[in-house]
Chains A and B, each alone.
Chain A
C-alpha cells in the first residue's frame, strides 16, 4: 500500500528537531524531520531508547524541542500557547499503559477530555455512545476501571483519546501491555476507528507485524528518522 501525500495535506510536520536530556548530555533526537498527512497511518519503529516516545511527546505538545520546529495543521506549535489547545482539539494520546483513573467509571474516564474542552454534557454523552458502540463497550459504561479487562481498558483509553474528535492520534506502544490475541483485536479496532474517523495515526511500536498494517513505516535509529 503506497501513500504519497502532497505538502498541503500535511497535518503534522517536524523539521530539524533536536531533543536532549540531563543538561544536554543525552541526545535523543538529532535533527529529526518528520511529516504526516491527513488520514495517514504511520508506524514509528526502532529499538528501545531510539526516541520514538520522545518524538510523539514533542508532536503532541507534551514537551518542547531544544531546536527545530513542529507544525500542526500548518501552525507552529512553539509560541502559540499551542500545547493545551492542541491536546483539547487536535491530538489524542494512547499510551502503552492505559492511564485511566481507577476510581472513576469507564464513562467518567472518557468524559474527561470533553470536560477539559468545555463540550456540553449532552454532546459528550452522544459522542461516547457512538464510540462505545464501535468499541463494544456500551454495556460497560458504568463499570469502574478495576472491573475491566486489559483489552477493555485499552479500548476505553482509545475511546477517551477520540472523544474530542481529534485530527491526530498519537499512540505509544498502544498494544504493548496486552496478550497476543487481545493485541491483535485492539489494533484492528484502532485501525478501523482511525479509518472511519479520518484520523491521522502516528504509532510507536516494536511489533513489525503491526507496523506492516500501517500505510507507512518510519524507522528511528540513533535519534534520526529513516523512511523504510
Chain B
C-alpha cells in the first residue's frame, strides 16, 4: 500500500505532466487501434468478397495482385464439373471510372454468383441482370454517388451501361462497386475468356486436399488456396497489415518518448526524495520498481483512454457515408491484446533509462548538495 502510495504520490504531485504522458500514450493507442482496425476491416471486406459462399480461391500462380490474374474460362468450367465441387464462379476484378469518380471497383460476375443471387435488391430484379447482357447492378452507395437508378444509364469509361438494379451489401467495396455481367466486363477490360479468380465451394470439406492437388495437376499455372490460407499469404494483405502495424508502432514510439520524458522529469525533480529512500534502505530494485510502477500506471491509463478514444473514433467513422461498409467496428481481441501489450512495453521501455538514472543516484551527493 505504501509502495503504491509512493508511486501515486509523484503522479498526483505533477498532474499536468502526468496527464500529458497519459495523453501521449492514449493518442498513440487510439491511432494504432484506428489504423489497424480500419485496415483489418478493409482486408476483411476484401476477404469476404472473395469468400462469398465459397471456401477456395483459384487464381493465377505467382501474380503480385489479383487484378493481374487470368484464370481461363474453360478451366473454371472444368473445375465446376468436378464431382467434388458444388459450384465454381468466375469473378473478374477491374477498376473503372466515371466523371467525378476516377476509381470504382467493378465486379464481372455471372447471374448465379452469390453476390447477385443472394444479395438484397433494393431496386430492380435479379432476372434482369441475367437477361440484359450489358445491364449493370450498382451497390447502394455507388448508385448514390453516380446519381443513378434503375432504368438510367451510367457512364463508365468511354461507354454507358443501363442500370438494372441497386444492391444492398454490408461490404464497403461492393457497396461502392459496379456489378457487370461477366462477358461485358471481359469485353470492357479486354480480357475475353478469362476471369481474375474462380471462387469454389466443395461438396465435402474432406476433399480440400484432393481439390488442391487436382488443381495443381490439371492446371499448373493456377493455384488453389483456402480463404484463410489466401489471406495469410497474399502479399498485398501482408503489406497492408505490416504497414498498419508499422504506422501504429511509430505512434506508440512517440507515445513512449512522451512517457520517457515524463519519467525523466519525474526522476530529476525528486532526486532528494530518491536519496531519502536510499538512506532508508531502499534497494536499487525497489527504486526501479517505483519508476516502472509510475510508468506502468501512466501507460495503463493511457492505453485505456486510448482504447476508449479509438473505439469512439471507429464507431464515429462507421456513420461517415463515404466510409460506409469500409470500417469494421469489431475490434479483434488479438488486436486489442497486441495494442495493450505494445502500450505497456512502450511505457516500460520509456521508464528504462530514468530507472537506471534513479538507481545510480548517490544518496550522499544528493543529500549534501540539495
Contact = CB atoms under 8 A, between A and B. Distances in A.
Interface of A: 53, 57, 62-63, 84, 87-88, 93, 95, 99-101, 103-104, 108, 111-113, 115-117, 121, 160, 164
A115 B363 contact: no
A103 B363 CA distance: 20
Nearest to B273: A101
Contacts of B272: 99
Contact of B368 (A53, A101, A112, A115): A53
Q: Is the interface of B mostly helix, strand, loop or mixed?
A: helix
B2 interface: yes
B276 interface: yes
A87 to B, nearest CB: 4
A117 B367 CA distance: 21
B12 to A, nearest CB: 8
Given A84-B283, A95-B367, A99-B272, A112 B277 contact: yes
Contact of A87 (B1, B3, B273, B279): B279
Given A57-B364, A88-B281, A116-B281, 12 more contacts: A84-B281, A84-B283, A87-B280, A93-B280, A99-B272, A99-B367, A101-B6, A104-B5, A104-B9, A108-B2, A108-B5, A113-B281
B271 to A, nearest CB: 12
Contacts of A63: 362, 364
B286 interface: yes
B15 to A, nearest CB: 13
Nearest to B3: A115
Contact of A93 (B2, B3, B9, B279): B279
Contact of A103 (B2, B9, B278, B283): B9
Contacts, number: 54
A84 B285 CA distance: 12
Interface of B: 1-3, 5-6, 9, 12-13, 272-273, 276-283, 286, 362-364, 367-368
B5 A62 contact: no
Q: Which of B13, B276, B280 has the most CB of A within 10 A?
A: B280
A31 B97 CA distance: 92
A53 B276 CA distance: 16
A128 B138 CA distance: 80
A84 B286 CA distance: 12
Nearest to B368: A53
Nearest to B270: A101
A101 B272 CA distance: 9
Contacts of B286: 116
6 contacts: A99-B272, A101-B9, A103-B9, A104-B5, A104-B6, A116-B281
A164 B3 CA distance: 17
B257 to A, nearest CB: 27
A116 B283 contact: yes
Contacts of B282: 112, 116
A23 B277 CA distance: 28
Nearest to B287: A116
A117 B281 contact: yes
A62 B364 contact: yes
Contacts of A101: 6, 9, 273, 276
Contacts of A160: 280
B5 A113 contact: no
Contacts of A117: 281
A63 B1 CA distance: 31
B281 A87 contact: yes
Q: Can you list the 8 inter-chain pairs with the closest CB atoms, starting with the nearest?
A: A116-B281, A88-B281, A62-B364, A87-B281, A113-B280, A103-B9, A63-B364, A116-B282
Given A101-B276, A115-B3, A164 B13 contact: no
A121 B5 CA distance: 15
